[in-house]
Amino acid sequence: MNPMWLVRAKRWSQNPPSAKRIKLVFSIVLACLILVGIEKTIGVPDWMQHDRLSRGGIPR
């Protein structure tokens, strides 16, 4: 572990983020988890799938 992380942890403990910032971060994480869950259960549409390219760069 980098020693700078300990310095950051010390600063964070002395000046913790506001409740508004914590709610913002948790809501972003929750939105990402919801999107991953939808993608895993329902799947991804065909137009969002990427095509595998052969070595020549021409799609199979």
Residue 47 pLDDT: 79
Over range 13-23, report the average pLDDT: 94
| Helices and strands in the chain, H and E counts | 2, 0
Residue 60 pLDDT: 56
Residue 50 pLDDT: 76
Q: Where are the domains of the chain?
A: 3-48
Read off the pLDDT of residues 19-60 as tens digits, 9 standing for 90 and up: 999 999 999 999 999 999 998 898 887 877 777 766 665 655
| Widest CA span in the chain | 57
**Would you state the structure tokens that stand for residue 18, as one six-digit string?**
């506001």
Contact 8, 16 (CB under 8 A): no
